[in-house]
Amino acid sequence: DEELLALNKLSVDYKVKGGYLSAVKNVSFTINKGEIFAIVGESGCGKSTIAHSILRLLPEHNEIIKGNIFFNGEDLNDYTEKQLEEIRGREIGMIFQNPLDSLNPVYTTGFQVAEGIMLDNVSKEEAWNRVIKIYNDVKMPDAKKRALSFPHELSGGMRQRVMIAMMISRTPQLLIADEPTTALDVTIEAQILSIIKTLRDEFNTAVMLITHNFGLVAEVADKVAVMYAGEVVEQGTVFDIFDNPKHPYTRLLMKALPRRAKSEGRLQTIDGSVPRLTEIKSGCRFENRCPFVMDICKSKDPGRKVVTESHSFYCHLEGEVRNNE
Ligand code: ATP
Ligand code: SF4
Ligand code: MG
């Protein structure tokens, strides 16, 4: 498998009133070409922060980033703003949690898709024809009319289709999809997923799929990283995570999944609350909710445990999890 994106100990601290908030800590993972890699975790665990760090879209002067973000072997942190501009949209596309944030309100949606196409020296007329074709591909109702509509004139589902149309028009090597289906009804959700799969199958596009929805993960992902309070606590293939979870948090999540609903289960809540990310000390961040907590967990960061080449987790437990259940 050929490596496309590799995060190496990525940490992001936001500057907040009275100090820093540790939104992402020491996150490392690799996404190979053509792979669908899911990131799951509760609200606020740092998923969007990772996505935004990759494309350097974090609010400026408000954060400290440490670690490396390798894309095709080159560290994006070393890129100038201009070099990064070349990568955005063309090599790495992003579907945002809220498409209204990323669509320009004063241009028609068709124009915004055409703009990207014209960067490849395509004539205006040809670009417009392609926009209509792509709108039909993404099943935009009334494609010609919608291309001439402004973002606020479209429904949430239509706006997501515009975002996906933008992606398809550029055939990026990596598509970052941040909760692409949260606000959508199930039929549209299914269509959008099938478009994402098509992108992968036809163009070998890798996808970083950020979601709360384990059903989606089971359905489309190859690999999964489970995040908790800014850290990846476990990662592996879908099989590793669903059928052989090791980290206590992942195990609780899997237990909480309704029986039939590896196909439709949303992330369940579990007892206790997430630590305040402004007050984090050394030790396991899951310590106050973990049924297996030991003294060492409260003072020492857990190291990485390797289960197989594809599967690893971060915890102080030494294989006694099953016995304690
Ligand atoms: P959700 O599932 O709700 O989208 P998320 O996993 O994407 O959540 P992030 O948006 O990455 O989480 O946020 C991670 C943490 O960083 C949260 O505690 C959040 O409050 C905080 N945070 C996010 N953006 C900023 C910012 N610009 N300034 C300060 N703190 C921020
Ligand atoms: Fe639980 Fe300790 Fe493992 Fe954290 S390190 S998940 S507190 S056993
Ligand atoms: Mg988010």
Pocket of ligand 1 (CB under 6 A): 14, 16, 21, 23, 41, 43-49, 59, 62, 97, 277
Mapping DSSP onto H, E and C, the string for the chain reads CCEEEEEEEEEEEEEECCEEEEEEEEEEEEEECCCEEEEECCCCCCHHHHHHHHCCCCCCCCEEEEEEEEECCEEHHHCCHHHHHHHECCCEEEECCCHHHHCCCCCCHHHHHHHHHHCCCCCHHHHHHHHHHHHHHCCCCCHHHHHCCCHHHCCHHHHHHHHHHHHHHHCCCEEEEECCCCCCCHHHHHHHHHHHHHHHHHHCCEEEEEECEHHHHHHHCCEEEEEECCEEEEEEEHHHHHHCCCCHHHHHHHHHCCHHHHCCCECCCCCCCCCCCCCCCCCCCCHHHCCCCCHHHHCCCCCEEEEECCEEEECCCCCCHHHHC
pLDDT bracket for residue 317 (50, 70, 90): very high
Region 303-318: what's the mean pLDDT?
Answer: 94
Q: What is the pLDDT of residue 152?
A: 94
Q: What is the pLDDT of residue 102?
A: 76
Q: What is the pLDDT of residue 324?
A: 39
Query: Atom 7 (ligand 1): residue with closest C-alpha?
Result: 48
pLDDT bracket for residue 263 (50, 70, 90): very low
Q: What is the pLDDT of residue 323?
A: 39
Q: What is the pLDDT of residue 180?
A: 67
Q: What is the pLDDT of residue 187?
A: 65
- Each residue's pLDDT tens digit, 287-303: 999 999 999 999 999 99
Say whether pLDDT at 53 is over 70: yes
- Each residue's pLDDT tens digit, 2-40: 999 999 999 999 999 888 999 999 999 999 999 999 999
Say which residue, 138 or 297, is predicted with more confidence.
Answer: 297
Gap between the Cα atoms of 145 and 132, Å rounded: 10
Say which residue, 182 or 85, is predicted with more confidence.
Answer: 85
Q: What is the pLDDT of residue 99?
A: 67
Tokens of 284: 């396991």
Q: What is the pLDDT of residue 253?
A: 86
Atom of ligand 1 nearest to the CA of 42: 2
Q: What is the pLDDT of residue 316?
A: 96
Q: Which domains does the chain have, with CATH numbers?
A: 3-91+172-324 (3.40.50.300), 99-171 (no CATH)
pLDDT bracket for residue 325 (50, 70, 90): very low
Question: What percentage of the chain exceeds 70 in pLDDT?
Answer: 90
Nearest ligand atom owner, CA of 304: 2
Tokens of 196: 């994402």
Atom of ligand 1 nearest to the CA of 52: 11
* Ligand 3 center from residue 295 Cα (angstroms): 32
Mean pLDDT of the chain: 87
Atom of ligand 1 nearest to the CA of 45: 6
Say whether pLDDT at 209 is over 50: yes
* Ligand 3 center from residue 122 Cα (angstroms): 35
Gap between the Cα atoms of 186 and 222, Å rounded: 22
- Each residue's pLDDT tens digit, 194-208: 878 888 888 899 999
**pTM of the predicted model as reported, rounded to 2 decimal places:** 0.88
Region 244-260: what's the mean pLDDT?
Answer: 83
Say whether pLDDT at 261 is over 70: no
- Each residue's pLDDT tens digit, 220-239: 899 999 999 999 999 999 99
Say which residue, 171 or 151, is predicted with more confidence.
Answer: 151
What interface predicted TM-score (ipTM) does this complex get? 0.98
pLDDT bracket for residue 93 (50, 70, 90): confident
Residue 290 Cβ inside 6 Å of ligand 2? The answer reads yes
Pick the closest to residue 174 from 209, 145, 198 (CA basis): 209
